[in-house]
Each structure stands twice: as C-alpha cells, then as structure tokens.
Structure 1
Amino acid sequence: MRFVPALVLDAVLVLVFAVIGRASHDEDPGGFLLTAWPFIVALLLGHLVAALLPGRPRRPWSLGWGAVVWAVTVVGGMLLRVVSGDTAQVAFIIVATLVLGIFLVGWRAVAALLRRRAHRERQSGGADAAEAAGGERIDDGVVASSEDAAEQSPDASGPDAVPDSDPHTR
C-alpha cells in the first residue's frame, strides 16, 4: 500500500495534463476526462508493471519507478487513444511525452533532492547532538548507534536508491 500516495499524485498530474491540454486548444476543459482516461488507465498499468518488474525499483517515489510509470503511461495512453478511435498526432505525442515526463519523473527528482538535503542537514547538525545522546563517533565525525545499523537495509541499494534518504520515507 506504500505506492498509493505516489499513484494518487501521479493521477492528479495526469488530470492536470489533460485540463491544460484542453484549455490550450480552446476546448471545453470540463471534458478533460475524455482526454485523460487512456492515460489514467495506462498510469495504473505503469504502476503495476513497476511493482512487478524483477529487480524493480523498490520505492514508488524513486526515479526508476517514475521512469517506468512514465514510459508505460505515454505508450499505453497513446495506444488506447488510437484503439478507441481518437488521434495521436506526432506533435501531441511529443508534447505528451515531455509534459508527462516532467510531471511523473519531475516530482520524484525534487523529492530525492529534498531528502538528500534534509539528510545532509541532519548529519551536519546532528553529529554532536547524537554523540551527546549516546551515539559513538567513528571515522570522519560520523556518529553511529544501534539504530543506524538497523536503518541500513538491502532496500537502500541500487541505482535508484537515495543512500542518504530519511529512513521514515522508505
């Protein structure tokens, strides 16, 4: 169930994409569901594919997960549009690919940067406080405690891992 917040945010962003697209063409923005439904269906499929991939990205808010969701959403959404009798002109494919990429991968990139920054701030300001609270100073001023060891898990490895992420956001 840890994927639900990422799925909800992704769905909202796909709906925003559809509203912006319809409004930019002077179409009734109220009909945004007609534009959005193929991409929403493909988005659900994208999350399923990301969850089932062997060696998959483990966190729904990771860049790897976002890349999988983005690719499946664009390709699947376009295919569903065409199969349902709508068009998929080259210009629309390009714009949809770029906008959905910015939306679906972009928020994950911002989240990763914020997690890294927060972790660095905790490390720089928290080393002396952690040592005073019973931690043990080891190489390069890093403070280790039994809790630190418990937080290091196999989940925290891989190309899409944020090695210095907040353990409570995993």
Structure 2
Amino acid sequence: MSATTSRFATPLVADVVAIAVFTIIGRASHEEALSVTGFLTTFWPFLVGTAIGWVITAAVPGGRSFAPAALWPAGVVVWISTVVFGMVLRAVSGQGTALPFVIVATLATGLLLLGWRAVALAVSRRTASSV
C-alpha cells in the first residue's frame, strides 16, 4: 500500500471499524438482535455522519492539507459530525434519540473515534523520537 493510500485508507477503515464496534456493543448491551438487518439499521446513520465529517474536514482544511488521522481538526470534526448527523438521521428514520442515548453515543463515539487517533499519534511520536 502506498503512503498516500495508507494516509487515507487506514483512517477511513479505523473510523468505520470504530462505528461498527459502537454499534455492536450498543446493540449487545440492550440485548438487541445482532442480525445483519438490526446491525445495519443502527449503523447506517452514524456511518453517514462519519462520512459527512470526512467531507467537511477535507473541504475546509484550515490552510493545511487534509490529515484524516489527526486528532484536530479531523478527529473532532468527524466525531461531532458522527453524533450530530447520526442523531438527525436516526430521528428522521424513526429511530430513538432519547437524551441518555445521545449522551452515551457522544461519549462512546468520542472514545472510539478520538481514541484510535490518540494511540496512533502516541505511536508515531514514539517512533519518530527513537529514530
């Protein structure tokens, strides 16, 4: 995989996996069926929200090149977009958006979407300092 491909593909896959993990844990914690249909019903609004965050971050780089693995601004924009647009899409599609769910979803997606970026940053700094 080229450096350019990995610069975009790795963070994209990590974000999709983070949203999938959030979905699986959430459905399992509520003892909801882990069927493909059930998974996709819960997953798609947050996945679309994540995609919107990527588009926003890529379109408004703030004078810098788009760095999707960065905590700021990419990670924060993707996280907030995931929650905001995910909840709007859930509401429009007749899914629940109770305040406790919004709070848990905000915290959990923040942990997952920002967490992998923080780990990647720490590893890259450690690798750079040992060279």
What is the TM-score with the length of structure 2 in the denominator?
Answer: 0.88
Residues 67 and 26 of structure 1, relative CA distance in 2, 3 Å threshold: same
Question: 1:83 aligned to 92, 99, 114, which one?
Answer: 92
CA–CA distance in 1 between the matches of 2:49 and 2:67?
A: 19
CA–CA distance in 2 between the matches of 1:9 and 1:45?
A: 16
Deviation at 1:56, TM superposition (A): 6.0
For 1:10-36, what per-residue CA distance to the aligned partner results, in whole angstroms no more than 9, with x for missing partners?
Answer: 011101111110110111022211111
The code of the aligned residue for 1:101 comes to G
Residues 73 and 56 of structure 1, relative CA distance in 2, 3 Å threshold: farther
For 1:64-120, what per-residue CA distance to the aligned partner results, in whole angstroms no more than 9, with x for missing partners?
Answer: 111110000100000000011111001100110001001111111111111111111
CA–CA distance in 2 between the matches of 1:9 and 1:116?
A: 19
Question: 2:79 aligned to 56, 60, 70, which one?
Answer: 70
Percent identity, aligned pairs only?
A: 48
Aligned: 1:107 with 2:100: no
CA–CA distance in 1 between the matches of 2:34 and 2:100?
A: 20
Larger Rg: 1
What is the TM-score with the length of structure 1 in the denominator?
Answer: 0.68
Q: Which has the higher contact order (CA 8 A, sep 6+)?
A: 2
Segments ≥4 residues shifted beyond 6 Å: none
- Unpaired stretches in structure 1, ≥5 consecutive residues: 123-170
Deviation at 1:55, TM superposition (A): 0.6
Task: Let me know the Cα RMSD of the aligned residues.
Answer: 1.3
The code of the aligned residue for 1:116 comes to R
Residues 24 and 56 of structure 1, relative CA distance in 2, 3 Å threshold: farther
For 1:18-62, what per-residue CA distance to the aligned partner results, in whole angstroms no more than 9, with x for missing partners?
Answer: 111011011102221111110011111110111011416631110
Aligned residues of 1:50 and 1:69 also touching (Cα < 8 A): yes
Aligned: 1:17 with 2:26: no
For 1:126-161, what per-residue CA distance to the aligned partner results, in whole angstroms no more than 9, with x for missing partners?
Answer: xxxxxxxxxxxxxxxxxxxxxxxxxxxxxxxxxxxx
Q: Give the structure 2 partner of residue 137 of structure 1.
A: none
Aligned residues of 1:38 and 1:78 also touching (Cα < 8 A): yes
Aligned: 1:44 with 2:51: yes
* Bigger share in helix: 2
Q: What is the SS of the residue equivalent to 1:61?
A: coil
Aligned residues of 2:14 and 2:116 also touching (Cα < 8 A): no
